[in-house]
Structure 1
Amino acid sequence: MYKFDAVINNEFIKTESQLEIINPDGLLVAGTVAALNAEQINQAFQAARAAQKAWESESLLKRISILKKWSNLLLEQKEALAQIIMAEVGKSHSDAVNEVMRSVEYMDATFEEAKRMQPLSLTGQDFGVANKLGTFEHVAKGVGLAISPFNFPINLAMSKIAPALVMGNTLVFKPATAGSLTGSMLGKLAVEAGLPAGVFNVVTGRGREIGDLITQNKEINFINFTGSVDIGHRILDIATSKDIVLELGGKDPALVMDDSDLEKYASEIIVGAFSYSGQRCTAVKRVITTNAIADKLVPILADKIKKLKVGSPKDNAFITPVIDMKSADFIWELIQDSKKDGAKVITGDKREANLIYPTLVDFVTTKMRLAWEEPFGPVLPIIRIDDLQQSIEVINKSNFGLQASIYTKDIAQAIHLAKKIEVGTVNINGKSQRGPDSFPFLGVKDSGQGVQGIHEALLSVTRYKGIVINY
């Protein structure tokens, strides 16, 4: 049993009301975190505001030196952090350790990129304006709100936190309910690393009770949110700040154009679809191909899926229980509905509480919910199309537009089709994925707004401040 307090102004806040965090593997209580009230939420934002100008006035190298101590602590505590991740979100040990390591690498790369955020120096000569010299530097926006999801409780937290803090902003951080143990541990380590009081504050509680409170606080200058489409839209509707970056859902397609290397294509698709039981916005969530290719591809996919290890994260299983029973019920409903409408389950279709076995569903049509709704779980539909033009129509009809993947030996045709697909990124001969972290990461339509990635994240938390000299 883990028990963590909230962190406000470098003080550990104890509350009588506690929020229980349930371990997906067994559905028992993994630990508790503080359930804050409105007054305490407001104190967190006031602390962030009070600390912001002093933090920004520190030199960049000074901020980096303090934040580097924090990343070093993450590295030292990687095993403890991995155990917490396993306990509250059900990742395997190897995946949990890899997430910690990736987060440390992200922080270090962010610090280096921040050093290259040099001011612009411009003259008016090109416009016939003599005796004018302007400098335009990147300055902090102020106080930020970062809201992270359950599936990557450190990596998708640090992708918001590190860029904001290194550029002189202060933060209030709200982790997802499942992820609050890890998020609270990050706050504890931040205090130990010596971050000044108020620079980084961790607030926890029931989303339905404090969600609107944290997004409507008058101190907020910018928001970075990763989570569901519904909550993302809610934030857009009610947030006091309109400076918002959203990373929402996806229905990422894998378009298989030829049968030149189906073994390789299938291996890529399976890792893309079923890693962390499909609980990723960038997971491959539908395969689109012709009948002729599907007849060859589906048996290969089925054979590989049957070999995936299913079970507990403690045993480093590839397929582990999804985050909670509500999610499992939704995934199961999509599978059963597709069967009623005429789809054919090739393998899977087995459930033990919130553990759903990897399921391959063939002959899914565009009239079925499984063709359009995001399951966020271990199910992969096959949608058969007549030709490539129809594939573009099916892909672009989705309300999501995060990523897509194309598998073919004809790179020229792949590029031609990629230009027609309405998503943030198209991967050719590779699965959809977030990263490398130096790449811009973005979605269109209901998949979000704004751009992430290390350099783009630094831009998103700063604004230009110009000084023009007339001489």
Structure 2
Amino acid sequence: MTKLKDTYPLYLANEAWSGNADLEVTNKFTGEVAFRVALARTEQIEAGIAAAVEAAERMARMASYERQDVLMHCVARFKERFDELAYALCVEAGKPIKDSEGEVGRLIDTFRIAAEESVRMTGEVQPLDISPRAKGYQGIWKRVPIGPCSFISPFNFPLNLAAHKIAPAIAVGCPFVMKPASRTPLGAIIMGEVLAETNLPKGAFSILPAARDGADLFTEDERLKLLSFTGSPGVGWDLKAKAGKKKVVLELGGNAAVVIDRDADLDDAVERTVFGAFYQSGQSCIGVQRIIVHDEVYEAFRDKLVAKTKTLIAGNPHDRDTFVGPMIDAKEAQRLDNWIQEAVAGGAKLLCGGKREGAMLEATLLEEVSSDTKLNREEAFGPVAFFERFRTWDEALAIVNDSKFGLQAGIFTRDIFKVLDAWDDLDVGGVVVNDVPSYRVDNMPYGGVKDSGLGREGVRFAMEDMTEIRNLVIRRGPATPPRKLGS
């Protein structure tokens, strides 16, 4: 049977550091302390940054195959430790065990994709002789590591969202310091344990759980060349304002919409929408929150979805039949419960769910939710969604765009012209056809617009952010006249 240790170290400059075990991490279902983790103070964070700066040149000079070897070692070790990683995730995040296993699979995928991309970072030969003054000139550019990076990862996908920062950094040769979420640090700590088995240069990585005020050190130090943050919009935009000259990548979530057109396969759309709305208790930045349904099929789809939602099993995340586990803590569940009550007080109809006990909130569906409620305008980040009607496709697209967020949208339609209209007109980072916005594959470009963020993740696209273009211009001067063709 898989067991967790009582205490875990942090990782400072590639090495385990157990100076304290001050961070208590709870079992999110029972609320009991599950284990303790070393907590980085100012001196450890500053030491980690200094070590990353010191390691930058050696990391940049690693051969492509050496970086690939590191990443493939991680793939192999994560496979060997699959059950341990899934169990740890189930405990620290309260994520149902089947979903936890799915996230471990994505962790492995992300490192494997990074290993593949690490040996195919290419540049370009560029003709410069576009006018007489540039005759005899030729350009060549390549990508070089941007330098020491700072990563701050969230609680909802402690493995995969950390992997989407760590794996691309190793692939391009950037040292980094990472602050995992204090409520779910163990996944990143285990990644640090595996990375410590490799021949990465000393200082190449530090995994530093820290108090929230420690984020300032990860943000403001001018020696760090890139900040990648995943979390809430309020925190993310504040960090960007403090980041100074460094490049900033933000993935900040949203209140994602799915559109069900009248020609959709309703049974299929129900199955996918249930997943999109209630997978891992709705704690996904691309979880379905707004369900926009054509007027002609509205009642039929609503009734099918409500009936399906009522069958979902909620409870202990270690039970393989559980679909809805606890939210990250009782405070967050209470917040969302208050939003539901506000919506009902404003005239919304509660169709199912709506009951809370501690951190457990039932899968909840509503309709006729007023446009001025928090549930409509903000990110719910929990197991709640609501229905809206539309009559024309343009109206549906306008409803989707009527949001300060713009991460992904899903559309169910068989009409290719409507698909193209959505791709052109929806102000989002991605459009998913005949599926929910909650769908993501780890090699695709992923990110949002408006309050949903800045930049793109997805391994190759993150690698581009973690590199800079370095140009080379060659002039064929008088001493090197062009040779005759064929000679």
For residue 99 of structure 1, the aligned residue among 83, 98, 103 is 103
The answer for the alignment partner of 1:41 in structure 2 is 45
Which residue type is aligned with residue 453 of structure 2?
A: G
**SS of the residue 1:360 aligns to:** strand
Secondary structure of residue in 2 paired with 1:419:
helix
For 2:88, the equivalent position in structure 1 comes to 84
Q: Secondary structure at the residue paired with 2:347?
A: coil
- Residue of structure 2 in register with 1:169 after alignment: 174
Aligned residue among 361, 366, 369 for 1:364: 369
- Matched residue, 2:333: 328
1:300-379 to structure 2, matched below 5 A, reads 300-316=304-320, 317-379=322-384
Alignment of 1:232-243 (within 5 A): 232-243=236-247
SS at match of 2:23: strand
**Aligned mate of 2:207, from 176, 179, 202:** 202
TM-score, scaled to structure 2: 0.93
Q: 2:21 and 2:89 mapped to 1: Cα distance? A: 23
Contact persistence 1:258–1:409 (CA under 8 A): no
- State the Cα deviation string for residues 390-442 of structure 1 (Å, max 9, x = none): 33333222110011111223232232244222111111211113522222112
Question: Is it true that 1:288 corresponds to 2:292 in the alignment?
Answer: yes
Structure 1 match to 2:282: 278
Paired residue secondary structure (2:334): helix
Give the distance between the partners of 1:73 and 1:441, measured in 2 at CA: 27
CA distance in 2, matches of 1:325, 1:177: 16
- Could you tell me how far 1:238 is from its partner in structure 2? 0.7
- Residues 144 and 169, structure 1, Cα contact 8 Å, conserved in 2: yes
Q: In the alignment, which of 74, 92, 101 is matched to residue 70 of structure 1?
A: 74
The whole-number CA distance in structure 1 between the counterparts of 2:422 and 2:105 is: 36
Please state whether the residue corresponding to 2:197 is helix, strand or coil. Answer: helix
Which position in structure 2 is the counterpart of 1:30? Answer: 34
Give CA-to-partner distance per residue, 1:210-252, whole Å, 9 cap, x none.
Answer: 1112211222100111111011011111113430111001111
1:467 counterpart SS class: strand
State the shift of 1:259 in Å: 5.2
Matched, 1:436 2:446: no
Matching residue of 1:115: 119
- Whole-Å separation in 2 of the counterparts to 1:260 and 1:61: 47
Per the alignment, residue 484 of structure 2 pairs with: none
The runs of at least 4 consecutive aligned structure 1 residues that moved more than 4 Å come to none
Letter in 2 for 1:139: V
Report the Cα distance in structure 2 between the residues aligned to 1:223 and 1:435, rounded to whole angstroms.
Answer: 23
> If you compute each CA radius of gyration, which structure gives the higher value, 1 or 2?
2
Give the aligned partner of residue 480 of structure 2.
Answer: none
User: What SS is found at the alignment partner of 2:190?
Assistant: helix
String of CA shifts for 1:280-319, please: whole Å, max 9, x gaps.
0111111112444322211100110011111111102100
Q: Per the alignment, do residues 163 and 198 of structure 1 end up closer, same or farther by CA in structure 2, a change over 3 Å counting?
A: same
2:271 is aligned, of 267, 287, 291, to: 267
RMSD of aligned residue pairs (Cα, Å): 1.6
Structure 2 residue 479 is the aligned partner of structure 1 residue 463: no
Following TM superposition, by how much is the alpha carbon of 1:14 offset from its aligned partner in structure 2, in angstroms?
2.3
Partner of 1:219: 223
TM-score under structure 1 normalisation? 0.96
Percent identical pairs in the alignment equals 32
Q: What is the CA–CA distance in structure 2 between the aligned matches of 1:230 and 1:239, rounded to whole Å?
A: 15
Q: 2: distance between equivalents of 1:10 and 1:24? A: 29
Aligned equivalents of 1:259 and 1:55: distance in 2? 53
Quote the Cα distance in structure 1 between the aligned partners of 2:242 and 2:62: 33
Deviation at 1:126, TM superposition (A): 3.2
The CA distance in 2 between the partners of 1:253 and 1:176, in whole Å, is: 27
Distance of 1:434 and 1:254 partners within structure 2: 11
Is there any run of 5+ residues in structure 2 with no aligned partner, and where?
A: 477-487
Deviations, residues 35-84 of structure 1 (Å, cap 9, x unaligned)? 22112110000001111101211211112112322222112111111111
For residues 294 and 366 of structure 1, the distance between their equivalents in structure 2, rounded to whole angstroms, comes to 19
Match of 1:50 among 46, 54, 69: 54
CA distance, structure 2, for counterparts of residue 63 and residue 445 of structure 1: 35
Aligned to 1:414: 419
